[in-house]
Structure 1
Amino acid sequence: MKNNEEHEQNRIFEALLEYLKETRGFDFTGYKRSTLKRRVTKRMQSHQIDNFGDYLDYLEVHPEEFEPLFNTILINVTGFFRDPEAWNYLQNQTLPQLLQQKDKQDSIRVWSAGCASGEEAYSIAILLVEILGFEQFRQRVKIYATDVDEEALTQARWARYDAKALEQLSDEWRQRYFEKVGNHYIFRSDIRRMVIFGRNDLVQNAPISRLDLLICRNTLMYFNAETQKRILVRFNFAVNDNGALFLGKAEMLLTNSNLFRPLSLQHRIFTKVPKPKLNDRLLVFAQSGNEEASIRLSERLRLREAAFNSSPVAQIVVDASGYLVLANMNARSMFDIKRQDIGKLFRDLELSYRPLELRSIIDDVYRDRTSILINDVVRDHSDTTQYLDVQITPLQENDNSVQLLGVSISFNDVTSYNQLQNKFKASTQELETVNEELQSSNEELETTNEELQSTNEELETTNEELQSTNEELETMNDELESTNEELRTMNEELRLRTEEVNQANTFLTSILESFQTGVIIVDREFNIIRWNQDAEELWGVSSDEVQNKSLLSLDIGLPVDQLLEPIRKCFQGEENHQIITVDAINRRGQSIQCRVTLQSLKGVEEAQSYGTIILMEEVENQGDG
């Protein structure tokens, strides 16, 4: 009974994960179930909910619950130079070796996967500036930082941290790379521009490629073993042959040693293991201590390869890692497979999706461990249509083997058989229709004379209708000419008015930009209708972001509530010109005094005010001496 309840709860939990994927785009199906259940249960307890089914119902009714749930699942635990010994090894050993292998003008690409609030991305930026110098860093380095948590990415882009977050940094680095604003420290903007933040799901999205260094610390441990392996295969593709992978202290790669080998196992720094080609694999078998055994092995391999190549059916073999390892003579000729294609990822070859999508079928073969046959696959080749029977067969060392070695894919050309079958069907259909056609021919001949007589009468009637239609068309043509003349006149008037409006807008924009102060124009509903360049510089918000939005809804460091009453007085004509000084915070987070001048915006009638002009400028602080 207990097992049935547990099974039912597991089923409902999987439905909950599928609901999160469908409604919010977060795919947690690859995460470890024990970790996920523990964190979801934590959120359930905050609402006194004791089963997953009720929590799923709660999510459907309360969409505001998604954000705290995701924050609980995606715990962002990070810091500057976390595990200092590992970062010291990276700075003094790994990075110098990587840079020594590159020309001085070559670009350097780094990816911080699962970057959370950005501390590790900025940590590697500091190390590279220390090693290269700022000019070389600015010219050569690109740092990509990704995460699935949009809230964490927003915090990372701000690069704003408290004093506790900078405890691992020396006083020298803290002063060199951070600017203190109030109680917070902001990372240097000229270096921050070299770090590109974006959303990336390691399970679903493609990896960033051509990397010299990939940092993914304490992120893989949240995924199950199968998902970890898929991610590591992508990492292997993303990292250059001489590149490095920097993992967290809690992560190991012992089960995936065929993809990466350790540079420092203690500090979890690895380098890529390039995929060996087929010839390299066979060479291992030839390196035997017994020369006679090596000769026999070589002869057997040549015999097996000759038999494989001489097969009348085109055949290829893809290993369990997804690489094309064999293709016989017929397959190479049929699909134009070059020698350099052997050893490449099968998914990167045209054959993987043309003449049919084989990648998903191979996944089905691995899952079900059974052969799949697809008949009459159409292939357009050299202006001819070819028909193939494609069979995908799983390969294993013996019937009891648990691990699959790969799949064999054979392409049997059945074009001739298909053509003969089509001809036979066509001939049979033709014979069946001949008798029917002969029987109906006499009936058709008898009715033809009657149809011809009636057709003659219809033609006479049609001639009369055509004459009438011609007269109607001439009348319509005159009306259309008159309408076209009116449209041309209207278009000319619209063109002149458009030019006048454009000139007025250009004139107004030039006036606004010439003030050399921040300018905001609002209508009587407090909606922003103008926002000049100096306002953007002062508050850090572009005109496109605030256009037609209410001034009262903005959070830009300007105390809008103190302007509410003066603006109303301008609207009501009580005080058409006012000057006030308010305390504000500019776009750099600095506290300033801002002089605000308000001027009523008059309409066509002098007494009518349909808006307010707001001029803003920073008041320079007057020193004591």
Structure 2
Amino acid sequence: MDQAERQFEELLIHLKEARGFDFTGYKRSSLVRRVGRRMAALEITEYADYVDHLQVYPDEFTALFNTILINVTSFFRDPEAWDSLRRSVLEPLVAAKGPDAPIRLWSTGCASGEEAYTLAILLGEVLGVEQMRDRVKIYATDVDEEQLTEARHATYDATAIASVPPELVAKYFEAAGQRYQFRPDLRRTVIFGRNDLVQDAPISRIDVLTCRNTLMYFTPETQARILARFHFALADGGTLFLGRAETLRHHDALFLPTDIKHRIFRRTPRAASGSSSAGGWQPPVPRGADGRAGVDQLRNAAMLASPVAQIVVTPDGLVALSNQQAERLFGVSVRDVGRPFQDLDVSYRPVELRPYIEQALTERRTVGLKDVRHHSTYFEVQVTPLREGAADPIGVAVVFQDVTAARKLHDDLETANRELATAYEELQSTNEELETTNEELQSTVEELETTNEELQSTNEELETTNEELESTNEKLESTNGELQNSNERLRLSTAELDGANAFLDAVLSHLRAGIVVVDQSLKIRAWNRRAEDLWGLRSHEAVGEHLLNLDIGLPVDRLRPLIRQSLGGETEPGEMRLEAVNRRGRHLAVRVACSPMLDDGVPVGAILVMEE
């Protein structure tokens, strides 16, 4: 290597160390030509002098990167290739996926975003706008932060969208002055971020990966490493879409052509490329764990796929790992690995975490936080030091456990308990009134018995005197008045009992859960208002009907074992979760709990509690 070549390599190392751009894998002829263009514009002849110039004038980095990274892109560039991608890849992919299955795409070297938004338009046409917004994630990456900033704005002039058909412009763009902005509601399906194909970890589980006119700038060795990462990123049967000037002649072990004319390739299965000879990329294995690489990869995959958001921080405060749930909730992704944790929003929002991390490291114990609210979600946060044996902690795991449902259930239970306590107090008051009425009735009975004795005596005296009979008649009239008063009190007591029953019905109607009461023959005895809301069936239509004969969209036949268990004397409530579609066509996930209704310890029916 002569002096000029050595100085050029030193320039590349300086670019990598100063700004994080690794151009060592790019073709030297292209790099020399483009760097030379910048040096000629500054009238600099030596690479060493150009390094000095970069140190004195940092703005020169931007001009140099714009010269090296020729960000040439457009909407529907090479229309025939995009049409082939839609017909042979996107439409079959959508047909093969389940109706709610997510679709993940990755646009590498996205520049100012036209290619990523082209993918969004095509999927909007294939899926429909509503489905595309709910199911599609398009990851668009580049190494040029200025280009990524422009792509995130999603605004283009008339020249930039000239290649987009007018009907698609009207459907997917909104006028913004003299420019056009990609629809904001669909813009959220495209996620932009910085990713260096040479040194950054690939995004995983991708269905379609586009890398158009990017590989040609790299050396064959670097291309092989990048293609191995692409093979790892793509799901089984995933598609790689290259530019017209690129091909994969020597990588049949990784990709097979499906449309060589339009540079569309299909990823080979893992079994065909699992050996090291295939050049397959694998996530980095921790030092000293070579013998457990497979187990470590499995642990890494499990951590990434965990339904609980997790972030691992090193003792010196750097992000070491994060999983997919952490990215979805807090925006922490593999791109943040190696960054100081304090630079991330999640370090102080929704709660200041750094003091708890320091406490966990210092005290070597788990620190917990309860009722941490983030938007409309509540979390229980656990900060746990990670150690090997008795050594000092090697990091801290921050775990966010979603407890929103549990908190809601707790709040609902407290509300129900308060309502039940109020109802119990009113029932107790009614019971006391009934006891008083009963005592009055007993007193009336005693009075009637006394009167009867007097009547018998009077009958004996009638034989001797009419005057005593008249006196006795007056007494009888007085007694009849008392009886009428007693009957009136009885009528009022009955009305009070009816009111108590109406109050109990009101309590059931205002419970937030659907309440259904069945007898031992499974005929419905109670059907509250929440059950009416859930299934679209009125109480008078349901009461008296056999539960298993109802056609409400709930697979009630699956409830038979649960109900029979309660009717058989099982005192512990049973529970199951069911999927249903009610009469309004609404999809529901319902938790059904069943408990026995006892009379003197004997099951006389069952109570079903249904919660969405």
TM-score (structure 1 length as normaliser): 0.45
TM-score (structure 2 length as normaliser): 0.46
